[in-house]
Chains A and B, each alone.
Chain A
Amino acid sequence: MVEFAGYDMPVQYDSVIAESKAVREGAGMFDVSHMARLIFKGERVLEFLEHITTNDVSKLVDGQGQYSILPNFEGGAVDDIIVYRLEATKFAMVVNASNHAKDVAWMKAQNTFGVEITDETELTSMIAVQGPRAVDLLAEHSDAFDQFNSAVAFGIVEAAIEGIPVFAARSGYTGEDGYELIVNNEHAVALWDTLVDLGVKPCGLGARDVLRVEAGLPLYGHELGDDMSPIAAGLGWVVSKTKAFIGLEHYNAARANGTATKLQGVRLSSKRLIAPGMKVFVDGEEVGEVSSGVFSPLLDCGIAFVFIDSAIALGTPCEIEVRGKMEPGTVVSKRFYKRA
């Protein structure tokens, strides 16, 4: 167990490799109750969310969500988040545990729109069920077979799993299909036990990190931060080109002029464990550093996210200095894994 954002979190239940494989091949689950869940209500809630997030909230219909960023005034990110439209005047948001208090304070400070913000984190728990078997399995054991199968990405299904009411969103952090289930605390343990009985493998933070790096997904504090441009991290696809929002001019400038460094992947030739802060070299010259690194069971080698000179092309041979030794690798797309 390790301490994470004030929660005791398991790094692994069984083994990081076994857990990662379960999610790639069948179904695994993560207790992500530490992530914060907020509700926004008010006549001007849409206007407020358009102002404080980068993605087009107006594109959402009831029961849909989207990945987005809370921008700051300097072109950095307060957090990366998911916004869900429940009704025209009621939205939900899931934010990182590590930024929970910061986000709430930030949003309250920007709230000149009379929006009511309530924090439901302590009332509910959250379990992410992920893997090629996840959707079928939840559908088969729910009272909403068709809805579970037909929901769009980030779509919401409100249903019961073996009689337990859940608010399910078709999203996750592994590159696999699946749902994130929000459940009232009184039913959380029963839901977890039910899923264990259905053969869903409990997975810890170790596997979560491996799976998200393989899938090319950023982690706040590593690939995103208050003084880092999400454009450099490759998140331009969640930044609207048609609406106004906090810090817009910085995002436009980053898009127009490019950024000095850019987030790329590196695939090592060996099985070394790469850690944040390690230096990256091309032709003997330092070109950037590692933001995240894991051993990939899928690729059977070390893989990393690196912020390197934007001029460096994919396919360029490089080296990472791993505990005093130069390990050869190749600059590749940060999406190491893309499901079929």
Chain B
Amino acid sequence: MANVPADLKYTKSHEWVRVDGNLATIGITDHAQSELGDIVFVDLPAVGAEISQGNSFGTVESVKTAADVYAPISGKVVAANAGLGSASELMNSDPYGDGYMVTIEMSDASQLDGLLDAAAYSALL
């Protein structure tokens, strides 16, 4: 069974969001990393870039396939996980921790209301 932490928000396209004040950290879920298989390359936006809800902000390539990752909410990138450059496997081993993708400053926190909670996301799996 995929791990779905109760304190996060989710999208139908298998991204997660952790909110801390006006900052939101984003990654892909345990289910997503498991479906992708061993992740070998991650393309992230630069710090300062604007990402926009529903649009692709990054690419993840695994031994099986390449997948776009979509922004669950809009905002400005304040941190991109540089560690993934040399250790993309962190997205497999620790998808909700060291395998995060970006942290953004939210431009519209009300967008969070449209995301799934852990129970609703689990029901999709």
Contacts and interface: CB of A to CB of B under 8 A. Distances in A.
The finding on whether chains A and B are genuine partners in a shared complex, rather than unrelated, reads yes
Interface of A: 11-12, 15-17, 206, 210, 270-273, 275, 294-295, 302, 323
B121 interface: no
A323 B59 contact: yes
B65 interface: yes
B41 A17 contact: no
Given A273-B62, A323-B66, A16 B41 contact: no
Interface of B: 37-38, 40-41, 59, 61-66, 88, 92
B37 A273 contact: no
B61 A16 contact: no
A305 B12 CA distance: 36
Contact of A16 (B59, B63, B66, B88): B63
B42 to A, nearest CB: 10
A295 B36 CA distance: 13
- Most chain A C-beta atoms within 10 Å of own C-beta, residue among B40, B61, B63: B63
B88 A273 contact: no
Contact of A11 (B59, B64, B66): B64
27 contacts: A11-B37, A11-B64, A15-B38, A15-B63, A15-B92, A16-B38, A16-B63, A17-B38, A17-B63, A210-B63, A270-B41, A271-B40, A271-B61, A271-B88, A272-B61, A273-B40, A273-B61, A273-B63, A273-B65, A273-B66, A275-B66, A294-B63, A295-B40, A295-B61, A295-B63, A302-B40, A323-B66
Given A11-B37, A272-B41, 10 more contacts: A11-B64, A15-B63, A206-B63, A271-B88, A272-B40, A273-B61, A273-B63, A295-B40, A295-B61, A323-B66
Nearest to B59: A323
B12 to A, nearest CB: 22
Contacts of B59: 323
Contact of A271 (B41, B66, B92): B41
A273 B40 CA distance: 8
Contacts of A206: 37, 63-64
Contacts of B38: 15-17, 295
Kindly list the 7 A-B residue pairs having the minimum CB-CB distance in the complex, ordered from nearest. Answer: A16-B63, A273-B61, A17-B38, A271-B40, A295-B40, A271-B41, A295-B63
Given A271-B88, A323-B59, A16 B65 contact: no
B30 to A, nearest CB: 14
Contacts of A275: 66
A302 B66 CA distance: 13
Nearest to B42: A271
A12 B61 CA distance: 16
A206 B65 CA distance: 10
Nearest to A17: B38
A294 B62 CA distance: 10
A272 B40 CA distance: 7
A214 to B, nearest CB: 12
Contacts of A271: 40-41, 61, 88
A123 B118 CA distance: 48
A323 B63 CA distance: 15
A183 B89 CA distance: 38
Nearest to A11: B64
Contacts of B40: 271-273, 295, 302
A17 to B, nearest CB: 4
A295 to B, nearest CB: 5
Nearest to B68: A323
Contacts of B92: 15
A17 B61 CA distance: 14
A16 B59 CA distance: 20
A270 B43 CA distance: 12
A323 B43 CA distance: 11
B47 to A, nearest CB: 19
A292 to B, nearest CB: 13
Nearest to B86: A271
Contacts of B88: 271
Given A206-B64, A273-B62, A273-B65, A12 B41 contact: no
